[in-house]
Amino acid sequence: MTTDNESLTVAVTGAAGYIGSRVVHKLQEEHPDWEIIALDNFYLGTIREIGDVTVQHVDIRDRDRLEDTLSGADIVMHLAAISGVDDCEQQADLAYEVNVQGTENVAWFCRKTGAALAFPFSMAVLGDPAEFPITADLPRDPLNWYGRTKLLSEQSIRTYAEDAFPAHLFLISNLYGEHTIGTEQVSKGTVINFFIDRVFSDEPLTVYEPGTQSRNYIHVKDVANAYIRSAEQLAAQLERGETGARAYEIASDEDPSVQAVGELVQTIASEEADIDTEVRLVENPRSGETLVDQFTVDTSRTKSELDWEPTRTVEETIRTLIRERSSE
């Protein structure tokens, strides 16, 4: 393994997806001398080429194939996962195999080779937060299977990393926004993106009861930037021979209620596209989710140790996306 910061090899799992493709793009942009290994099983991701990097068809559940593909990697950015509460509930076995067993395969590779690891473990591990502002040090009490699979992965990475490799664990809040890879627009049906899509349909903006539930929102481009800062810091930790896991909060200072977000989209749709959109409160079909009315997150540790902070805002992004789509 090389730890020369000028000639690192960085592997990205889930590279065809919403975050992973952006991470590969930013790695190419900011560190053109680094070699990049990109892999995905294309369960949901659609990106096949990112610049001069081809995304290889590899399933993280296949440990032998995974280890062959990761061979030579100094840092692994592990983004492959079955994400979301609904998907994990509906496909519980698959979520276990990918999120738990697949992550253990990646962590085991890192333990054997000493490669550094970055991994997102989601706000879902917290359940109903016991105190605010939220930090990665709060107790874990997930309310759903998605959160439980992420908690099991967090715990296993901490165990594997001890005395073996440096790891960064990211407590990531709710994503929004889009980005472009080549000519392909990459998005995901998260809350804000869903509302923007609804503006250009005949459907109302449906808000699950009670509507006062708060979420913290972070733009996908800001999240990708955090991974770049993480890779740089992990490279330095490899040079120093450091091991063990550190946890960081990847979030913004925006935590409006879902009802407030719907009303903001409604207002901007009227201003930017002259579209009248209904915001409708509907029965909540979900059981395992937090309904707290605040979701403030303390990101001071991330800012000080990784030199990262978000640069995009919810209102600016909604306004830009609605303006662009209305002019198409």
For residue 147, the model assigns a pLDDT of 96
Sign of CA dihedral 316, 195, 218, 166: negative
Quickly count: other Cβ atoms within 10 Å of residue 112's Cβ: 12
For residue 5, the model assigns a pLDDT of 61
β-bridge mates for residue 280, sequence order: 206
Q: What does the pLDDT average to over 10-39? A: 98
Using pLDDT thresholds of 50, 70 and 90, give the confidence band for residue 7.
confident
For residue 286, the model assigns a pLDDT of 82
Peptide bond preceding 133 in cis form (omega within 30 of 0): yes
Using pLDDT thresholds of 50, 70 and 90, give the confidence band for residue 2.
very low
Segment holding 77, helix H or strand E? strand 75-78
Kindly tell me if the per-residue pLDDT of 231 is higher than 60: yes
Q: What are the start-end ranges of the H helices in 13-163? A: 20-30, 63-70, 85-90, 92-95, 103-113, 145-161
Burial readout 131-140 (b: 16 or more C-beta within 10 A, e: otherwise) = eebbbbebee
Write the pLDDT tens digit of every residue in 238-273.
999 999 999 999 999 999 999 999 999 999 999 999
Kindly tell me if the per-residue pLDDT of 1 is higher than 80: no
Residue 68 tokens, joined: 């062959």
Rounded-to-integer distance, Cα 295 and Cα 42, Å: 33
* Domains defined for the chain, CATH in brackets: 9-175+218-250 (3.40.50.720), 179-215+253-326 (3.90.25.10)
Write the pLDDT tens digit of every residue in 42-71.
999 999 999 999 999 999 999 999 999 999
Q: What does the pLDDT average to over 154-175? A: 98
Rounded-to-integer distance, Cα 116 and Cα 241, Å: 11
Write the pLDDT tens digit of every residue in 108-137.
999 999 999 999 999 999 999 989 999 999
